[in-house]
Amino acid sequence: MRNRLLCCEVSKSRGFGQAAGPDSAAPEPGRTRKSRRHCAAAAFTLTELLVVLAVLALLASTQVPALTRTRTPARFAQCFNNLRQMGQAVMLYRAENQDAFPYGNWVFGPGTGTDSVLAPTGWPMQLLRYLGGYQTNVPPAVFVCPSEASPATGWVFPVHYQGNRLLISDVNQRSGPVTAAMVRIPSIYWAFIEKDPMSGCNITPGGLANPVLGAWNIAPGFPGYRRHGNGMTASAADGHAEYLRTPPYQPGATAPLNFLELGDCANGLNPTSTWLNNGTRVKLYCRFTYTAPDNPF
């Protein structure tokens, strides 16, 4: 009898059985031993755990580029839509201003003065009337390219686009606004293109040639003009938007001869081109003629 009791105590201490109390169910013989064998079989070894982590890391590394590629088209689409909205805002402005394009102060950008983005007669504030208005301390999203990460230090709000001073003109460039009647084929002239965050909001072909084209391959170049796969978005004088391929960035190489799909022209009041002819690749031109000759340029 004593030996039998001793065996029971040993069994209990090893977990092979359990005394039944008033609140407990009857024990199932051998259950604890089975559970231990099951847990041992289901547990991960250190090697297996490391293999699983390695597989997960590999999957993550392959998915991140895919997610980036997915975001890139979305950012381009948003930027393209911004230029389309700006083009349509110009059309609305013309409808209320005797068919004239925006005209007023030359807009450099920083500060709060007459050459800042807050200038009432600068094109940013003129167009915002047709783009939802301006709220203090709320940067207008329509002027921001989502692919641009650099800040516009000193600006009340960033503007990642610039106007063609020969079309979206100012008091420093002309004595009065350009009207639609002066532009023979508005669909082939650009009104707005992309730019670097700190560049001015108005530019001429001369400014595009020097410093932009001349320093194209001098690091860091002008990344604002090639934000979207060696290209940029633009808005034409008739309100439609375009994608323009620009030269590849080749640090240390000589400056490109032209802007590929962004062209200049020589005719009528424009006797010489600012850069060499781009040939038939041009989608939008900088300059137009007021005399409307037979040649559209």
Q: What is the pLDDT along the chain (297 residues), one digit of tens a residue?
A: 444 444 444 444 444 444 444 444 454 555 555 555 555 555 668 887 788 888 777 766 655 454 344 458 999 999 999 999 999 999 999 999 999 999 999 999 999 999 999 999 999 999 999 999 999 989 999 999 999 999 999 999 999 999 999 999 999 989 999 999 888 889 999 999 999 999 999 999 889 999 999 999 999 999 999 999 999 999 999 999 999 999 999 999 999 999 999 998 765 455 577 888 787 789 999 986 554 444 443
Tokens 């200038």 correspond to 119
DSSP 208: I
Query: What's residue 34's pLDDT?
Result: 52
Query: What's residue 251's pLDDT?
Result: 96
- Per domain, the residue ranges of the chain are 68-285
Q: Using CB atoms within 10 Å of the CB of residue 182, give its burial: 0 to 12 exposed, 13 to 18 middle, 19+ buried.
A: middle
| Burial per residue of 10-37, b for 16 or more beta-carbon CB atoms within 10 angstroms, e otherwise | eeeeeeebeeeeeeeeeeeeeeeeeeee
Instruction: Note whether 225 and 193 are within 8 A (CB).
Output: yes
Query: What's residue 288's pLDDT?
Result: 66
Question: Which tokens is 121 given?
Answer: 């007669």
Query: What's residue 69's pLDDT?
Result: 43
Query: What's residue 271's pLDDT?
Result: 58
123-151 tens-digit pLDDT: 999 999 999 999 998 999 999 999 999 99
Query: What's residue 70's pLDDT?
Result: 44
Nearest CA to 259 among 208, 207, 190, 200?
Answer: 208
